[in-house]
Structure 1
Amino acid sequence: MKTEAVLFAGVAGFFLVTDVLYAVWSRDPTGTAALTISFLMASLVTFFFATNYRRKGLRPEDRGNGDIHERSGPVDFFSPHSIWPSLTAAGMAVLALGVVFGLWLFLIGLGVVLAGVFGMVFQYARAQG
């Protein structure tokens, strides 16, 4: 993760320098805002990689003596029978149609999307007690 953090720090630095020069010479608020957002997003990715490197250290693929079997095993847990991803996708479709046909449909789609997202997040949450 250290290599990725340095790489994205370079990208963030490029966007920062470009943003400052563009803001001074062009006086265009739209391009300046876009470059500022690009700098902030690259900085966020840099922060994520640097924090993961500090917490977890080097990964096997970052070490010269890392073996393939060190990264083997289960990747993650994926819910086998869940309705929430389908509900979220349907809500996004309704939300997109709401952009075309009106605010009322957009709000219905937003409600369905939020229900689907909350369902996915809290699907396996259990009360401790």
Structure 2
Amino acid sequence: MKSMKTVLYVVGVCFLVVDAAYLIWSLADDNFELVGLLTIGLSGVMCVMLAFYFGQVLRGDGANLAEDRLDAGIDDGDPEAGFFSPWSWWPVLLGGAISAVVLGLAISPWIAMFSLPLLVITIVGWQFEYFRGNFAH
């Protein structure tokens, strides 16, 4: 994560320098364009924000990643990622609901309006699947 932070800082500063050059060049040519200026500038700001976030995460106690330690072995880079239910159909339904919402936003708002309750139901169902049935806690 340290290398990612450094790379993002370098890329972000590079974007901001290119944005300043783009502004000077477009003003000198009497062809000011706001879209390119904002796109390059906000890309730089996004990279700097991500690098700052990675730096803050590295300060925390839980940021002891294997790729940041010199004494780490190969097995240290394979931690448990979490618990995933192998028989759950909720992620499939959630993917379909998200697809319906995005399709509705792209095509017609009424599709999104009817698919938003389905999206909420699938999120709640996936969150609480271990609170009922055979596998209740």
For Structure 1 versus Structure 2, the TM-score category normalised by the shorter chain is 0.7 to 0.9
Amino acid in structure 2 at the alignment position of 1:34: T
Give 1:17-28 correspondences, 5 Å limit.
17-26=17-26, 27-28=32-33
Judge which range, 1-10 or 24-33, deviates more: 24-33
Specify which of 96, 100, 106 is matched with residue 94 of structure 1.
Answer: 100
Residue equivalent to 1:69:
75
Judge which range, 106-115 or 25-34, deviates more: 106-115
The alignment yields a C-alpha RMSD, in angstroms, of 2.7
In 2, the alpha carbon distance for the partners of 1:2 and 1:125 equals: 37
Q: Give the superposition deviation at 1:17.
A: 1.2
Structure 1: gaps (5+ residues): none
User: Does 1:51 find its partner at 2:56?
Assistant: yes
Q: Give the superposition deviation at 1:78.
A: 1.5
> What is the TM-score of this pair, normalised by structure 2?
0.70
Structure 2: gaps (5+ residues): 27-31, 132-137
Report the CA distance shift for 1:45/1:79 in structure 2 as closer, same or farther (over 3 A).
farther
Structure 1 contact 91–112 (Cα < 8 Å) conserved: yes
Give 1:100-119 correspondences, 5 Å limit.
100=107, 102-117=108-123, 119=125
Amino acid in structure 1 at the alignment position of 2:4: E
Deviation digits for residues 57-103 of structure 1, max 9, x if unmatched? 55333333222233345222213333432222212332343222x22
In 2, the alpha carbon distance for the partners of 1:30 and 1:109 equals: 33
Judge which range, 110-119 or 66-75, deviates more: 110-119
Fraction of identical pairs, as percent: 27
Structure 1 contact 93–109 (Cα < 8 Å) conserved: no
Residue equivalent to 1:7:
7
Structure 2 SS opposite 1:77:
coil
> What is the TM-score of this pair, normalised by structure 1?
0.74
Give 1:32-43 correspondences, 5 Å limit.
32-43=37-48
Structure 2 SS opposite 1:79:
coil
Q: Which structure's CA Rg is the greater one?
A: 2
Amino acid in structure 1 at the alignment position of 2:2: K
